[in-house]
A and B are shown apart, each in its own frame.
Chain A
């Protein structure tokens, strides 16, 4: 059965800290892994990863995929209060998308 596991489930840090969010998966016919940020309502797209070892960066956020060990990490450096959100990891097998439960990140001033 396909599954996506995120850790930790919840994380509280202070502004300026660096955080690493984890996503491990077991799916058949892996196609891609996506990271989303969900604040008040709908998730917004962050990254899509298809190849191992290639880091994707967007400002203070970066992510990398390891297809051999079946996991991905999302790094956020110099965190800000605006980074507080739920971060969702999703994996695309066939015509489907499987989400993890998410990591709730709280950044305190």
Chain B
């Protein structure tokens, strides 16, 4: 039981490049979400999904796309990387939104855009 797996752990991109951050969970969780963490700002929600085929925008969705074709996977795509997207990205999942034990987080992806 691996929990929430994020790849890659580190990535450096040039401005304008695109890439996909991978997130997979093996706990049959319905709810998955992506956050970015910046110093002094805490975690901010980018996109979330309440089940396969259903996604919605969070607090800071611009510049990111998501899809949820399976329950297990929730990739985050950066369409054209910008230096403002330099951050640490966390994927999280839960049985459902509001699950009493909170969320299970991945170990994070540290992204630098130069």
Contact = CB atoms under 8 A, between A and B. Distances in A.
Given A41-B107, A45-B103, A97 B42 contact: no
Interface residues of A, number: 24
B41 interface: yes
Interface string B40-54: 111111001010000
Interface of A: 4, 6, 9, 31-32, 34, 36, 41-45, 48, 88, 90, 92, 95-102
Q: Chain B interface: which size bin?
A: 20 to 34
Interface string B83-114: 00000001000000110111101111000000
Given A101-B40, A102-B42, A95 B97 contact: yes
B61 interface: no
Query: B35, B44, B56, B97: which has the most chain A beta carbons within 10 Å?
Result: B97
Given A41-B108, A45-B103, A88 B43 contact: yes
Contacts of A98: 45, 59
A101 B105 CA distance: 17
Nearest to B9: A41
17 contacts: A31-B98, A36-B102, A41-B107, A41-B108, A42-B4, A42-B105, A43-B105, A45-B102, A48-B100, A88-B42, A88-B43, A95-B50, A97-B45, A99-B35, A99-B43, A101-B40, A102-B42
SS of A interface (majority) = strand
A42 to B, nearest CB: 4
Given A42-B106, A100-B42, 5 more contacts: A9-B40, A32-B98, A41-B107, A88-B43, A96-B58
